[in-house]
Amino acid sequence: MDDQIVRVISRIIIPFIQVYGVFVVLHGHLSPGGGFPGGAILGASIILYTLAFGAKAGSQLIPHTTSKWLESGAILLFIAIGLIAVGSGRSFLTNRATGFAMGELGNIISAGFIPVVTIAIGVKVGSTMITLFHTMIDKEP
């Protein structure tokens, strides 16, 4: 698709989509949403970029190796946070009893490790969407 209107409109609205996605991910423990919808919104913004500017520009923005490493690293971060509780003798993903700071209800930095886990899920879901789409539109070798 090589259209001036699509390119200009995409360039205007992609930052707003990404700010909304980051908002949904960061407020995952306070408001509706969380890691999965926020990551899907972030992935959809990159897919929109690829649709508007072509497959070559899209794979230059997020190369396949970068999205592969993000995908694996995010889920490993999730498992590592869960294993901290196992190391101190409790069950997987135990939050308060392990000693994570709870903070004050309603702040962004509260609820122990839940924001970190939500960010990990968001990165994982977003990069999975990008990897899926780029794999699907790639020409076969």
Instruction: List interacting residues with another protein (CB under 8 A).
Output: 24, 32-34, 36-37, 40-41, 43-44, 47, 51, 129, 132-133, 136-137
Pure H helices in the chain? 4-26, 35-53, 55-61, 64-87, 114-137
Shortest spacing between CB 83 and another protein, in angstroms: 27
Minimum distance from residue 36 beta carbon to another protein (Å): 6
Transcribe 99-126 into DSSP letters: T-----TTSSS-STTHHHHHHHHHHHHH
State the burial class of residue 74 (Cβ atoms within 10 Å of its Cβ: 0-12, 13-18, 19+): buried
Amino acid at 54: G
Asked if 10 contacts 49 with a C-beta cutoff of 8 angstroms, the reply is yes
Contacts of 104 (CB under 8 A, 6+ apart): 110
The least distance separating another protein from the CB of residue 53, rounded to whole angstroms, comes to: 15
- Of 24 and 123, which has the nearer Cβ to another protein? 24
Which of 5/136 has CB closer to another protein?
A: 136
Closer to another protein by Cβ: residue 38 or 112: 38
Identify which of residues 38 and 94 has a Cβ nearer to another protein in the complex: 38
